A and B are shown apart, each in its own frame.
Chain A
């Protein structure tokens, strides 16, 4: 069974640009959550999507957005990039709601903003 797949794995952007990251969950999983990991703040919750609906959102500015498609694949978008957005962005999938079961993470997308 294939795991959680995130693309791209690495990317470099400049300030002011926007970026779109993609996540394909484990087959059959309906929940996709996104996290930002930085050395200073650790892992922070961005948002969770379940059956194409945003279920929860963390404390991030509106520049961070996401969506989920009917096949459960998810994308997150960051607009007007800032230096502080440099981080490892991790996606996790679960069969049901993320807070009730086991989460399975992808390898992450490492974003560097110059």
Chain B
């Protein structure tokens, strides 16, 4: 059964810093990995999707990498801003979709002004 772990569970940094969020998964037989953002009481906003054949994806200040063989992904946020404060969730798709996406518990990020 696929398991997804996100470290750290919470992170607080001053505005302007570059930061890295980590995601690890136990079964490397994945179709893709997706990073989401969730604001309090809201739904999930898709940030980046990495297919299993890809190594990284970039969108603006965000860069996500995927190392399928080691079961790891990182989300790099450059020049952080207070508006980046949210919970960041990593999810993997595997096993023909029988279990849907498997989500990590998320990293709660606070950017201090």
Residues of A participating in the B interface, judged by any CB pair closer than 8 Å = 4, 6, 33, 35, 42-43, 45-48, 55-56, 58, 90, 92, 97-108, 110
Q: Which of B42, B44, B97, B102 contacts A56 (CB 8 A)?
A: B97
Which residues of B pack against A, CB within 8 Å?
31-32, 34, 36, 41-46, 49, 89, 91, 93-94, 96-106
Given the complex of chains A and B, what is the CA–CA distance between A103 and B100 in angstroms?
Answer: 11
A42/B34 contact (C-beta < 8 A), A56-B98, A97-B97 known: no
* Contact of A55 (CB < 8 Å), options: B94, B97, B102, B103: B97
Do A99 and B43 touch across chains, with their CB atoms under 8 A apart?
no
Q: Which residues of B contact A103 (CB under 8 A)?
A: 34, 46, 101
Complex alpha-carbon distance, A100 and B101, angstroms: 10
16 more A-B residue pairs beyond the given contacts A33-B100, A99-B94, with a C-beta to C-beta distance below 8 A: A33-B101, A35-B101, A42-B105, A55-B97, A56-B97, A56-B99, A98-B97, A99-B31, A100-B97, A102-B34, A102-B49, A103-B101, A105-B36, A107-B42, A107-B43, A108-B42
> Which residue of A90, A98, A104 contacts B93 across the interface (Cβ within 8 Å)?
A98
Determine which residue in A42, A90, A107 has the highest number of CB atoms from chain B within 10 A of its CB, and name it: A42
A102 to chain B: which residues have CB within 8 Å?
34, 46, 49
- Give the distance in Å from the alpha carbon of A92 to the alpha carbon of B89 in the complex: 15
B89 touches A43 (CB 8 A): yes
* With A43-B89, A105-B36 as contacts: A98 and B43 at CB distance below 8 Å: no
